[in-house]
Amino acid sequence: MKKSERAAQARRELDRKFATARFESLAARPKSGWIRAIRGALGMSQAALAARLGISGPAVAKLEHAELIGGITMGKLEEVALALDCSLLYALVPNTTIEDTVQAEAKRLARSMLGYAGRTMALEAQAVDQDRQNEAVERFAQDLIARGDLWRNSLTLQIVPVATP
């Protein structure tokens, strides 16, 4: 199986997994942060959590603050989760499907790469109609995906906006 085929299969599997998951209720972290919210719901003081973690009470306050500002490490958050009898779940949740992200990037890149040729042809009075341009972009985008070098091309291509007359 080719690399691009394995990537397509991985996209389909992850998209299916995300489609069935329910993240909405977990997406909004409590205002006080998860550590403080769970510790409070357990009726556990900072001192009690500190004892379970083998740290000082003020260090727990620092951990709770670090969570709020995004300065806590995954390792430390896992330690706190265990001390609170919790499991740490870590996920990057796509805003759209992974397939949609790949298709959108491929089309953006294809438009950029084919745009120069289109502008040059237009200057030579050989403009291609919009439907044919869209077909060419779609074909080139699918080719970029199939070759498996979409993101490499995306990073190496410097896209410079061109002023239109």
Yes or no: say if 60 and 53 are a contact pair by the CB < 8 Å rule.
yes
Query: How many helices (H) and strands (E) in the chain?
Result: 9, 0
Instruction: Write out the residue range of the structural domain in which residue 103 sits.
Output: 98-156
Instruction: Answer yes or no: do 115 and 151 share one domain.
Output: yes
Instruction: Answer yes or no: do 123 and 76 share one domain.
Output: no
CATH number of the domain bearing residue 31: 1.10.260
Instruction: Answer yes or no: do 31 and 62 share one domain.
Output: yes
Number of domains in the chain: 2
**What is the model's pTM?**
0.68
Nearest to 138 by CA among 109, 96, 116: 109
Q: Which of residues 124 and 75 earns the better pLDDT score? A: 75
- Secondary structure E strands in 76-153: none
Residue whose structure tokens are 């109609």: 129
pLDDT digits (tens, 9 = 90+) for 58-115: 999 999 999 999 999 999 999 999 999 999 988 888 889 999 999 999 999 888 888 7
Yes or no: say if 49 and 67 are a contact pair by the CB < 8 Å rule.
no
Yes or no: say if 59 and 92 are a contact pair by the CB < 8 Å rule.
no
Q: Is residue 8 part of a domain?
A: no
Q: CB 40: neighbour CB atoms within 10 A?
A: 12
**pLDDT of 121 above 80:** no
Instruction: Answer yes or no: do 152 and 102 share one domain.
Output: yes
Q: CB 144: neighbour CB atoms within 10 A?
A: 23
